[in-house]
Amino acid sequence: MYIFIMTLKENIQNLLQQVKELSANDEKELEALRIKYLSKKGVITDLMKDFRNVSGDQKREIGISINNLKTEVFNKINEIREKLQNKSQDEEKVSLDLTRTAYPIPLGTRHPLSLVKNEIIDIFTRLGFCLADGPEVEDDLHVFTKMNFAADHPARDMQDTFFVETNPNDVAKNIILRSHTSSVQARVMETTQPPIRVICPGRVYRNETITARAHCFFHQIEGLYVDEQVSFTDLKQVLLLFAQEMFGKETKIRLRPSYFPFTEPSAEMDISCDICGGKGCSFCKNTGWVEILGCGMVHPNVLQACGIDSNKYKGYAFGLGIERIANLKYKISDLRLFSENDKRFLDEFTSAN
């Protein structure tokens, strides 16, 4: 009996020592420890079995030390569990990027007309043109009178132009929505002496029924160059360069005589159809050419009306529709798509930003 008690006591002492040094690297190892010490077939249960054989006078002391051991095991296992939990939280903290936004913010897209406008601006600013701006609600003076429109020109008619305010005594004082960006030419020339080299992008309005091919507002870019020696050849060269930058090096241009009150001589420019490569298709109506802009040498009357000496200075001007260029570039068949804000249409230009 004595030997039995001594070995039991020693056993408990050894186990106590062992328990103090317990450790586990993960939940699995911890569970193995729990089973080893606390399960039905575990170390403590074995000790309890031995305890049954302990004689009366020793029961109290041995009982206390077994209970002690049990508490130690409990505490140790809890301590290890807590450590493991803290460790995994620390790992989570390390992988937490506090600089990230809470959720992805979807980026918008640029409107196709802005894309085309920016591309055109980019080409002309590289050629030395500056940007100029003017009001959309304009007076007749700048839209028509200074631009050498005859008093009875049909553009001055309500059928063609939107009127905001009419002045029966003086048509030049009529307030209208500008029908072309040429009004900005007048505003620039009024305030600046040559050399002038500007481009004026902006929205214009015409009293048209809205269809797939016409709209009551659209966008233009006007170009104006005024200096002492400006020739039609300069104009042609700049336009050729523009066409090749915009539509590719193979692009050809063609100038056809035309008429505008504010330019003399005037022309309309076509480019070789880039859909069929000039062979003829439905887009170019089998001609191999598509019209993209109007141009000409600034009429001396316009220079004079804006306070520029037409004996000393000459100039060229050109105006193009941004929708028209966008149609050519992106093959958009319905003009109305540009102003309907249909997200499905706008999202198609995501990659072009």
Question: In whole angstroms, how far apart are CA 352 and each of 109, 114, 115, 119, 207?
Answer: 8, 11, 8, 11, 32
Other beta carbons less than 10 A from residue 242's beta carbon: 23
Under rule CB under 6 A, residue 201 binds ligand PHE: no
HSE toward the beta carbon, residue 187, CA cutoff 13 A = 21
Q: How far is the CB of 283 from ligand PHE (least distance, A)?
A: 21
Task: Give me 113's structure tokens.
Answer: 């007309």
DSSP 2-13: HHHHHHHHHHHH
C-beta of 18 vs 207, nearer to ligand PHE: 207
Q: How far is the CB of 180 from ligand PHE (least distance, A)?
A: 3
Under rule CB under 6 A, residue 260 binds ligand PHE: yes
Instruction: Return the residue of 180, 197, 219, 324 that touches ligand PHE, per CB under 6 A.
Output: 180
Instruction: Return the residue of 145, 148, 183, 263 that touches ligand PHE, per CB under 6 A.
Output: 263
Q: How far is the CB of 222 from ligand PHE (least distance, A)?
A: 6
Q: How far is the CB of 163 from ligand PHE (least distance, A)?
A: 18
- What's the rounded Cα separation, in Å, for the pair 153 and 161? 11
Under rule CB under 6 A, residue 176 binds ligand PHE: no
Positive or negative, the CA dihedral 64, 70, 75, 76 is positive
Q: How far is the CB of 317 from ligand PHE (least distance, A)?
A: 4
Residue ranges of alpha helices (H) inside 95-222 are 112-126, 140, 182-191
Whose CB is nearest to ligand PHE? Answer: 319
- What's the rounded Cα separation, in Å, for the pair 72 and 64? 12
Residue ranges of alpha helices (H) inside 21-55 are 27-38, 43-52
Q: In degrees to the nearest 10, what's the CA dihedral of 60, 61, 66, 69?
A: 140
Q: How far is the CB of 182 from ligand PHE (least distance, A)?
A: 4
Under rule CB under 6 A, residue 317 binds ligand PHE: yes
C-beta of 76 vs 215, nearer to ligand PHE: 215
Question: In whole angstroms, how far apart are CA 240 and each of 8, 52, 234, 244, 270?
Answer: 106, 109, 10, 6, 10
C-beta of 60 vs 213, nearer to ligand PHE: 213
Q: How far is the CB of 250 from ligand PHE (least distance, A)?
A: 26
Under rule CB under 6 A, residue 182 binds ligand PHE: yes
Instruction: Return the residue of 295, 306, 325, 326 that touches ligand PHE, per CB under 6 A.
Output: 295
Instruction: Return the residue of 270, 319, 323, 338 that touches ligand PHE, per CB under 6 A.
Output: 319
Stretch that binds ligand PHE, among 32-40, 45-53, 129-137, 290-298 (CB under 6 A): 290-298
Q: How much of the chain is helix, strand and coil, in % rounded to 5?
A: 45, 20, 35
Contact between residue 82 and residue 67 where contact means Cβ atoms under 8 Å apart: no
Stretch that binds ligand PHE, among 82-90, 91-99, 294-302, 324-332 (CB under 6 A): 294-302
Under rule CB under 6 A, residue 219 binds ligand PHE: no
Task: List residues near ligand PHE by CB under 6 A.
Answer: 180, 182, 222, 260, 263, 294-296, 317-319
